[in-house]
Structure 1
C-alpha cells in the first residue's frame, strides 16, 4: 500500500510539473529535469504558476485547519498509546504538499508519501486487530516504506524507521522495517522505474578530500544548527489567522519573481544539488542560491505552508560543500567541486535531520556513488553531528 501510494504521489508530482511549466507533455516520467523545464519557461509563466501555488497553499491549508480533524504527525502516532491518524485530513495534507512542491514550493516532498504509508499501515493494523505496540511499529514501517517507494531507497527507508522513528535497533524491529521498505520500493518500480535520484560524474577520492572532510564537518554542523533554528522558529510562528491565504499568495509571488532571475530556486532543491554534484556552479551563483534558498524556505514555512526539509537540507549541504570546497581547492587543487558537494550534502543532512546513519545510507542510495566515499563522508558526518550536539548543549545551558 505504501509502494502504491508513493508511486501515485510521485506520478502526480511529475504530471503537474510538466503541465505547469509546459515541458515533456508527452510523458509522465521524462529525461528532461524539472530545472530544465523551469529554465525553458518564461518569466511571466513562473510568476503566474507560483501565484497559483500560493492560492492553493493558502486556502488549502486554511481549509484543512478550519474544517478537518486535527492532524496527527507520524512521530506522535508512533508514540501514542492508541495510535490513530485522521484519514481525510492526512490525505489532504499530503496532497497539498505534493501539489505545491510540483508547482515550485521550496519545501520537500518526502513527508507526503511517509504520511500516506503511515496512514495505510494504521488502517491495516486496525483491521488486523494488532496490539497498540504492533500498530506503532507498523505505522513507523509504513512511513519508512513511503520514503523508500518515492526515492527508491529500500535500505534508507528501513534505517530511517529504526534510527529516527523508533530510535532502536533490534531484530524484532529490523525485519519488518527491511521487509516493508523493500516491498514498497519494488512495487514503486512499476510506475517509477529502478532509477537513482542523482546522476554523478566520475569522482575520485584524493588525500586533499580526506583532510577537507575532517575540517569541513564542524562548519557544516554549525550551518545545519542555524538552519534548524531558523526553520523551527518559522514553523512555531507560522500564520494561522484568516490572513494566511493572503500571506501565502504574497510569499509565493515573491518566490516567482525571484525565480524569474534564478530558476534554480524553484522546487525542493534537487536541481541545485545536481548542479553542485556536476561541478556546474560558479561560487558566486552557489552563494546566491544558498542565501535565497534559506530565505524562501523560511518565508514559506512562516506563511503557513507545509513540507519536508530532507531534500532542501541535502541541497543546502551540497551548496555549502561547493563553496567550502571551492575555497579549499584554490589552495590545494586536484579535487572536483562535485566531490566536496557530495560530502557536504551528507554532513549537513545528517546533522540537520538528526539522523547520521540514515543520511549516509540515503546519499549512497540517492547517488549510487563509489563506496570508497564512505570514509570521507563519515568523517564529515561525525564532525557535523558533533558540532550540532555541542551547539544544542550550549543553547540548553542559556
Structure 2
C-alpha cells in the first residue's frame, strides 16, 4: 500500500519516487488529532532543523578557515586577504572532490529529488540527501559560486518525511509539513523566519490559509532561534545608517530600480533555468565541474568577490561610494558573478541562486544609485543597493514577499523601508513577467 503525498494517482501502485509506507513507517497511530500531530511535528522539526542549520553554518566556516584561511563576516565577507593562488587551489580541489562524489552519488545510488518534488510526494533518501547537502556546503566553503540555501531546505524536507512518519501526520497534511520544513531550513541558516515562512507559503504551497501561515512561521521561527544558539547572530550584510529615509527621492528611485531590476532579474531567472536544465550528467561532470572551478579560480585572482555564495559581491554594493570611478568595478563584479554562477550550475553543481541574486541586485542598485545621486538623489548608497537587491531577487524568484523579507532580515533594515522596497518589488515582478512573456513568445515564433 502506498501513501500519496500530493495529487491523485489513478492506480494503487506507488510510483518509483513516491513515499511508501515501508519506506518511512507510515500508517502509525497519530499523536492525537490531525491538528495535534501536525503541530507537534512542526515544533519538533523547528528544533531539529535549527540544530542542523547552526551546524551547517559552523561547517561552512570551518571549511573556509582550512581551505582559504579566513572566515566570512560582515567586515570581511570574502577571501580578499587570501593569496590568489590559494584561491585557485581551493576552488580546484573543491570542484574535483565534489565532481567525483556527485558522479558516484548520481550514478550509483538513489537519486535525490528537488525540494519541490519532495513537496509533491517524492521520497528524500536519507543518507544520500545528507551527502548531497554536505557537498553543497563544502563547495561553497571552497569558493565555488552557488548559494548554500538549497542544502538546509533539502535536509529539512528529508527530516520532515521521517518525523511525520513517527508522529502519524495524515497524508493530506504531509505535503504542507514538508514545505514548512524546507522554509525553516532557509530560516535557520540565515536567521530569517519571515522569509522562511513566506518561502513555504508563497513558493512551495501557494496557500495562504490561516493554519498554514501560522504553522509555517512557527516552524521557521523555532528553527531560526535554535540555530542562533549554535552559530550566534549578526547582520549578514552591513548597509550603514538608513533610518528615516522614506522620501519622494526614495520612491522615485524605487520605481526606476524596479524597472531595471525586473529586466535583469528575468534574464537571470532565464539563465538559471537554462543552466539547470542542461546540467552536466554522467561522466561529463568529472571534467566540467573541475573546469568550472579552475575558471572561477582564474577570475578570482583579479576579482576575489566572485567566490562563494555572493556575500562579498553583495557587500561591495551595500558599502558602495557615490563615485563614477566605482561603477566599472561594480559592473565587472555583477557580470562576473552571474557568469560563474550559471557556469557552475551548468557544470553539474547543486546549489541555490538566492544569495547570488542578492549580489547581482545589490551591485545593480549601487550602480543606479551612483547615477541617481549625481542627478537628483541624496540617500546613502546602502539604501539604493538594498532596493536593488530586493527588486532583482523578487523578479528572479517571482516571489516578492519572500524576496523582500529575506533581504530586509539579512540586512536588519528598518521596517519603514518596506514602503519603497515593496514598490520596487512590485514593479520588478511585473516587469520581469512582461520580459519573460516576450522572450517566450519570441522563442515560440522562431520555432
Shared fold (TM-score greater than 0.5)?
yes
Alignment of 1:228-307 (within 5 A): 228-280=269-321, 282-307=326-351
For residues 360 and 265 of structure 1, the distance between their equivalents in structure 2, rounded to whole angstroms, comes to: 23
Gapped regions of structure 1 (runs ≥ 5): none
C-alpha distance in structure 1 between counterparts of 2:217 and 2:187, whole Å: 10
Does residue 41 (structure 1) correspond to residue 82 (structure 2)? The answer is yes
CA contact 1:154–1:181 (8 Å) conserved in 2: yes
In the alignment, the residues of structure 2 paired with residue 389 and residue 187 of structure 1 have an alpha-carbon distance, to the nearest angstrom, of 37
- TM-superposition CA deviations, 1:123-164 (whole Å, max 9, x none): 111122222221111111111111111111112211111111
1:321 deviates by: 0.8
* TM-score where L is the length of structure 1: 0.94
1:152 is aligned to 2:191: yes
Match of 1:58 in 2: 99
* Structure 2 Cα separation of the partners of residues 198 and 21 of structure 1: 21
Task: Answer yes or no: is the 8 Å Cα contact 1:17–1:34 preserved in 2.
Answer: no
Deviation, 1:88, is 2.0
* Equivalent residue number for residue 196 of structure 1: 235
**C-alpha displacement at 1:283, in angstroms?**
0.8
What is the aligned length?
Answer: 390
Q: Structure 2: which 5+ runs fail to align?
A: 1-47
Q: Tell me, yes or no, if structure 1 residue 362 matches structure 2 residue 403.
A: no
What is the SS of the residue equivalent to 1:242? helix
- 2:425 aligned partner: 381
User: Equivalent residue for 2:58?
Assistant: 11
* Partner residue in 2 for 1:104: 143
> Which moved further from structure 2: 309-318 or 238-247?
238-247
In our comparison, the structure showing a higher alpha carbon Rg is 2
Q: Deviations over 1:14-35 (max 9, x none)?
A: 11111111236xxxx8776341
Residue 75 of structure 1, aligned match among 116, 133, 152: 116
- Give the deviation of 1:336 after TM superposition: 2.2
RMSD over equivalenced CA pairs, Å = 1.6
Name the CA distance, whole Å, in 2 between partners of 1:319 and 1:6. 28
The equivalent of 2:388 in structure 1 is 344
Q: In structure 2, how many angstroms separate the alpha carbons of the residues matched to 1:182 and 1:229?
A: 32
Q: Is the 8 A contact 2:269 2:396 kept in 1?
A: yes
Q: Distance in 2 between matches of 1:166 and 1:288?
A: 37
Match of 1:322 in 2: 366
Q: Distance in 1 between matches of 2:73 and 2:377?
A: 37
Deviations 1:44-102 (A, max 9, x none): 1111111101102211211111112022211112122xx52111221111111100001
How many angstroms apart in 2 are the aligned matches of 1:225 and 1:13? 30
